[in-house]
Chain A
Amino acid sequence: MSSTPAIAADGLTKRYGTTPAVDGLDLSIPRGSVYGFLGPNGAGKTTTMRLLTTLTRPTEGTASVCGDPVTDREAVIEHVGYLPEVPPVYDELTAREGLRYVADLRRLGDIEEHIDAYLERFGLAEDADRRIGTYSKGMRQKTALIATVLHDPDVVFLDEPTSGLDPRAARTVRDLIADLAAEDVTVFLSTHILPVVEELADTVGVLSDGRLLAEGSPESLRQRVEGGEGTLEDAFLDITDEWD
């Protein structure tokens, strides 16, 4: 396994005018791990993801994905898959067509079997030839998730992947994340649903007002509260309270 971290950031900063959205972020996330990225609304989580996926330019600092700097989009996009909060799907295409389109964009060649396997795995095979515009929120999210991992990326950025999903769909997503980690894929997971992080994350980072307030294993963060008797939610509230 390469010693280069999957994701590294050094003083990564993004300002909009004079307002900092991300402020001096330092990260070093090893390959094959799941990094739970927590923070209140407006903390800068999505901006961080956009910085790390080259979709936003940093104001200061550096960052790299699999050793490639985030200023080199051509190199970085070979490694990443990014699922934004709003599922990136085309309502007017069917799921199968949408995934073929993504495969074409990424020049993946004939991966029909790969697509079928994912559709089957996510319980979408029956509906794969219906337009995505007719899908439920969960089905749209699952389609988008397949599109995100279709090219077998090394690092996957997931922004609220289980938000609004029913328990069964959320379980499918959690299983996929666990499987990705088992396949040495690094998962950068932003979510408000703390039990998901508690279950899956190797490391948790808590961001507030663009600054990384705490970082460690879920267990180590829990230890910070009430003698280790609290939950990750208690730890999150405690850390963000301290900062406020």
Chain B
Amino acid sequence: MGLRTDAAVAWTIARTETRRSLRALLSDRRQLAALGFAFLGMAPILVGTLPSLYLTGNAVASGEVTLSTTVVRGQFVTTFAGLVGLGVIRALERASTVDHADYLLTAVSPRSLTVGLIGAEFLRTLGVLGPVFLVVYGPFLLGLGTPALGAVAVLATVPALAATLTLGYALGLLVRLAGRRFRVTRRRGQLLGVLGAIVLVGGTFVATPEVIAFVQSPPSVLAAVPLAPYADLFVLGTPTAPPVGVETGLGIAVVCSLTAVGVAASIPLSVRLWFGDANRRTDTADSRETVSMPGFLSGRPLGRAVFWLWLRGVRAPTGFVHLLYVVFATFPALGSLAGAEEPLLWLPPVALGVGALFAGAAFGLNPLGDEGAALPAVVLARVAGRTLVRARMMAGIALLLPPALILAVVAGVVGPMTLTTAALVVAFGVVLTGFSAALAVGLGTLIPNFESQRVFGVEAVQPTPWAVFGHLFSVGVAALVGFLAIAVPHLLDTSSVAIRILPVGAVSALLAVVGFVCYRYAIRRVETFTYE
């Protein structure tokens, strides 16, 4: 096929894939809900930031603030590298694959398919980051008094974004090929990706001051990178902007060349990826597995059911990807613990609170959907409701309560907490864990999800966001109220044990009642489940 035909086909693929993504997004209530949450979370920050961006533009126009060329160029290089990283992640996640690849590869050239997929990724990213860029950059230009420069900025953004995405795409393909070379299966790759995301987000959270300092004042060496002068296009019209000259032209040339390099490299890499042999689990004698059920579990039906859940979980850990939401939600508590003056004082409630969250969320948030195609067989088994619900509660509790208790008890005894307070914290932690597990199965059976979905790049049947966030919120509030009910009388220096027990006892009783209702509801729901 000729270049013109390939270009036309690539454009068709890019448009179609973008349209499919858009329609998938609009028809997926889960993703729309997640976007809604994200927007609600970001809106206050944005509202608070817009005036300051406007004022910054004002200050730059009046000469009160001078923009350092070195800093702006360094920030551009940092942003460029970040977007390349995003491109790599997207290529690893899904952008370098396409549905019905067998059909497409026998219908169009790999060149047009590769360029089409990169084009689709470009359009999708532009659709997501474009409005953000306009919202952030617009007030700055308005403050600067040169809104017309917005057009220049938009024109400058398009090639820069294209360069980052194509480079990221090519590097993503290289990583996938390396994974194949080193026999990393898809599932292991997904797990590595999830662990990488935890480290990245957790690291950013822990080192927030350092990250902000780096962004505000990047190392001057970055300004010397050949593509750095491209940044001058974004500050055109400011009093201290460097004149557009040979250096800027060189920056533009470098950015445009990188796009060409990215595309040129992506085509042969895509061919190698698509037409090579993927790593699969091999069907050799080595792949036989025999796992004995531990004696302490095999004696009772509940123990046996818990064992099967654990075994399935270990072998299909992608089913736990929804726990990333919980991981991210607990970072503030863990960050506070790390920075606390007396960490041993905070360790018991944090350990028990986090343990309770995971105990419920790990196995309980989608009991019906997690059974997949086997659900009819499970539902039609004798005493299915009790077996399934209790097993899903106990699978999480048995795994997470003991370590949380050990941490809490040790810190309670060794740390500055009084023994009475420590005992109350531990007792409430046990109640909270039971409540979390019961609430999880209640929510999970109330709003089950049976469809496999992609979450954080991992394709699996996951709980609905309503179940995940509802559980997260409810257990978080319950933990806060319960631990406050212990802390407040302690801080008031109440010596009466009865007065100290009463508030937390009342909270515990309420949680026990709500938890029991959830537990009974879950059993009833499983036992009467029908396909309607």
* Interface residues in chain A, defined as those with a beta carbon under 8 Å from any beta carbon in chain B: 50, 53-57, 73-74, 77-78, 80, 82, 84, 86-94, 96-97, 101-102, 104-107, 129-131, 133-134, 147-148
Contact = CB atoms under 8 A, between A and B. Distances in A.
A193 to B, nearest CB: 21
24 contacts: A50-B531, A55-B529, A77-B382, A78-B382, A88-B373, A89-B373, A91-B316, A92-B312, A92-B315, A92-B316, A93-B308, A93-B311, A94-B289, A94-B290, A102-B377, A104-B308, A106-B381, A107-B382, A107-B383, A130-B287, A130-B289, A131-B287, A133-B281, A134-B287
Contacts of A104: 301, 304-305, 308
A130 B283 contact: yes
Contacts of B301: 104, 107
B372 A90 contact: yes
- For B283, B376, B527, which residue has the most chain A Cβ atoms within 10 angstroms? B376
Contacts of B372: 90
B530 interface: yes
B107 interface: no
Main SS of the interface on chain A? Answer: loop
B308 A53 contact: no
A73 to B, nearest CB: 7
A105 B283 contact: no
Contact of B530 (A55, A90, A107): A55
B394 to A, nearest CB: 14
A80 B382 CA distance: 11
A56 B530 contact: yes
B382 A131 contact: no
Contact of A106 (B289, B374, B382): B382
B194 interface: no
Given A55-B376, A104-B301, A131-B287, A77 B381 contact: yes
Given A93-B312, A105-B384, A84 B290 contact: no
Contact of B290 (A82, A129, A147): A129
Contacts of A87: 373
A131 B281 contact: yes
Given A93-B315, A97-B311, 16 more contacts: A53-B380, A55-B376, A57-B532, A73-B380, A87-B373, A88-B373, A88-B374, A88-B377, A89-B374, A90-B312, A90-B374, A92-B316, A94-B288, A102-B381, A130-B287, A130-B289
A155 to B, nearest CB: 12
Nearest to B280: A134
B301 to A, nearest CB: 6
B377 A131 contact: no
Contacts of B315: 92-93, 131
B289 A147 contact: no
Nearest to B314: A92
A74 B379 CA distance: 10
A105 B387 contact: yes
B528 interface: yes
B376 A88 contact: yes
A56 B531 CA distance: 5
Contacts of B198: none
- For B287, B289, B377, B528, which residue has the most chain A Cβ atoms within 10 angstroms? B377
Contacts of B381: 77, 102, 105-106
Contacts of A78: 382
B380 A80 contact: yes
A87 B380 CA distance: 15
Contacts of A94: 288-290
A78 B372 CA distance: 22
Q: Give the bracket for the number of chain B residues in contact with chain A.
A: 35 or more
Nearest to B309: A101
B215 interface: no
Contacts of A92: 311-312, 315-316
A56 B305 CA distance: 26
B392 to A, nearest CB: 13
B277 to A, nearest CB: 16
Interface in B282-315: 283, 287-291, 301, 304-305, 308, 311-312, 315
Contacts of A97: 291, 308, 311
A104 B382 CA distance: 10
Nearest to B303: A104
Contacts of B305: 104-105
Contacts of B528: 73
Given A56-B530, A84-B373, A105 B288 contact: no
Contact of B289 (A88, A102, A129, A148): A129
B7 interface: no
B378 interface: yes
Nearest to B381: A105
B374 to A, nearest CB: 4
Nearest to A50: B531
Contacts of B377: 82, 88, 102, 105, 147-148
B139 to A, nearest CB: 50
B375 interface: yes
A101 B308 contact: yes
Contacts of A102: 377, 381
Contacts of B387: 105
A55 B289 contact: no
A14 B316 CA distance: 37
Contact of B281 (A56, A96, A134): A134
B373 A130 contact: no
Given A106-B381, A131-B289, A73 B281 contact: no
B312 to A, nearest CB: 5
A130 B290 CA distance: 9
Given A77-B380, A92-B312, A107-B301, A86 B287 contact: no
A56 B530 CA distance: 5
Nearest to B317: A92
Contacts of B532: 56-57
Contacts of B312: 90, 92-93
Nearest to A78: B382
A136 to B, nearest CB: 10
Contacts of B375: 88
A86 B372 CA distance: 10
B287 A55 contact: no
A202 B300 CA distance: 43
Contacts of B530: 50, 54-57
Interface string B489-532: 00000000000000000000000000000000000000111111
- For B283, B376, B380, B531, which residue has the most chain A Cβ atoms within 10 angstroms? B380
B201 to A, nearest CB: 28
B366 to A, nearest CB: 15
Contacts of A93: 308, 311-312, 315
A206 B372 CA distance: 30
Contacts of A56: 530-532
Contacts of B308: 93, 97, 101, 104
B448 to A, nearest CB: 15
Please give me the 9 A-B residue pairs with the lowest Cβ-Cβ distance, nearest first: A105-B381, A92-B315, A88-B374, A129-B288, A92-B316, A88-B377, A86-B373, A77-B380, A104-B304
